[in-house]
Amino acid sequence: MNPDIIESLGTNIDDAFFIIGIVILTVEIAESWFKGNLGRMTILEAIASASTQIPYLLVEIFIMTGAYGVFYVFAHSSIDWMFEINWTTAALAVLVADFTYYWEHRIAHRVRILWTQHAVHHSSRDFNIITAVRFGPLESIWSLIAHIPMLFLGFPPELVFFGVLVVLAYQTWIHTETIGKLGPLEWVLNTPSHHRVHHGSDRKYLDKNYGAVLIIWDRMFGSFQVEEETPYYGLTTDFDSKNPIKVWFSELPELGRDLKAAKGARDVGGYMFGPPGWKPKERG
């Protein structure tokens, strides 16, 4: 197997999940239409979600293109122990990328500077296929950094990006309320039911079900929660704006206010790298 084949395979998998997403979106629209739920606010929410692709793609074009180039150059100039590209290493790359995504995702929930980007994905009060493309402008930067260890494990960049693409493509179809629980698959795979929990802002659902393809990582590392009652989607803060600009940068104004009020480097570090909601201790 050569790099062109693995790139083509990744593209085909991405296209397949895109088609599945289109089918689910069609069902969601039809269902909302017949139930009379396809109102102005729902449409504005969908537009706000889709609009996040504008700054995201601009960053991809003007910043991440160069970063991906550096990623390739570093790998091929500094790492001599790369695996061959074959079916076995391709499957292993997907497994390792899935494990990496679990920790990338979990850390993004617990480090505020990263959360300012990932919170964009969680800020919608709706949960549907359009939510799947609701990204923070700079999320891909953290993703690239988080996958650098895969290079040192011996995965060539082509396999790293193949694994990342498959893991991200898979998650398209799990952003829906149309699909219920899926029986035995719920034990192994991340499903719409598990991901609805992840998007819930209810106390027992917060910071649960970080997995992408496999839910076993959450079961192993104590972050699993089964879906019980229907989640209340969105952020724990009262964010309901449909304004695309506010959606793109929803968490940054509050971070800016906290940094402005910081009293010293310790506070700055806490606000930037502590968990969302971190506050300095009262000084005596």
How confident is the model over 105-117, as pLDDT tens digits? 999 999 999 999 9
Q: What is the mean pLDDT of residues 128-149?
A: 96
Q: How confident is the model at residue 240 (pLDDT cuts 50, 70, 90)?
A: confident
Q: At what angle do helices 112-122 and 252-261 cross, to 10 degrees?
A: 150
| 173 contacts: CB under 8 Å, gap ≥ 6 | 17, 20, 21, 24, 129, 179, 192
Window from 29-33, 205-209, 211-215 with minimum mean pLDDT: 29-33
User: 189: closest CA among 162, 204, 170, 207?
Assistant: 170
**Structure tokens belonging to residue 229:** 């009652």
> Would residue 283 count as lying in a domain?
no
Tokens of 96: 């390792």
Where in the sequence is the domain holding 83, given as residue range(s)? 3-250
Interior/surface letters 22-56, b for 16+ CB within 10 angstroms, e for the rest: eebbeebeeebeeeeeeeeebeebbebbebbeebb
Mean pLDDT computed over 114-128:
96
State the total domains in the chain.
1
pTM above 0.85, yes or no: yes
Collapsed DSSP state (helix, strand, coil) of residue 3:
helix
* pLDDT recorded at residue 34: 85
In the predicted model, what is the mean pLDDT of residues 269-278? Answer: 96
Q: What is the mean pLDDT of residues 229-233?
A: 95
Query: What sign for the dihedral angle of Cα 189, 168, 228, 118?
Result: positive
* Residue 175 pLDDT exceeds 90: yes
- Judge whether 74 lies within some domain: yes
Residue 104 lies in a domain: yes
Q: What confidence tier does 284 reach under pLDDT thresholds 50, 70, 90? A: low
| Distance, CA of 283 to CA of 104 (rounded, Å) | 34
pLDDT surpasses 80 at 139: yes
Given this model, what pLDDT does residue 4 score?
86
The pLDDT assigned to 206 comes to 96
Model confidence band, residue 158 (pLDDT cutoffs 50, 70, 90): very high
Q: Which amino acid, one-letter code, is at 99?
A: F
Mean of pLDDT over the chain: 94
pLDDT score, position 81: 92
Percent of the chain with pLDDT over 90: 89
CA angle, 15 as apex, 181 and 119 as ends, to 5°? 60
Q: Is residue 163 part of a domain?
A: yes
Token duo for residue 260: 């402005």
Tell me the average pLDDT across 227-232. 96
Buried b (16+ CB within 10 A) or exposed e, 219-239: eeeebbbebeeebebbbeeeb
What does the pLDDT average to over 120-134?
95
- C-alpha 91/C-alpha 85 separation (Å) is 10
Q: What residue type is assigned to position 61 of the chain?
A: I
The verdict on residue 269 lying in a domain is: no
At 71, list the tokens: 């990623």
Angle formed at CA 128 by CA 126 and CA 131, multiple of 5 degrees: 80
- Looking at the domain assignment, is residue 255 inside a domain? no
CB of 54 within 8 A of CB of 209? Answer: no
Is 128 exposed, middle or buried (CB count within 10 Å of its CB: 0-12, 13-18, 19+)? buried
Is there a domain that residue 272 lies in? no
Which pLDDT belongs to residue 283?
60
Does residue 218 fall inside a structural domain? Answer: yes
Average pLDDT value for residue range 135-154 = 96
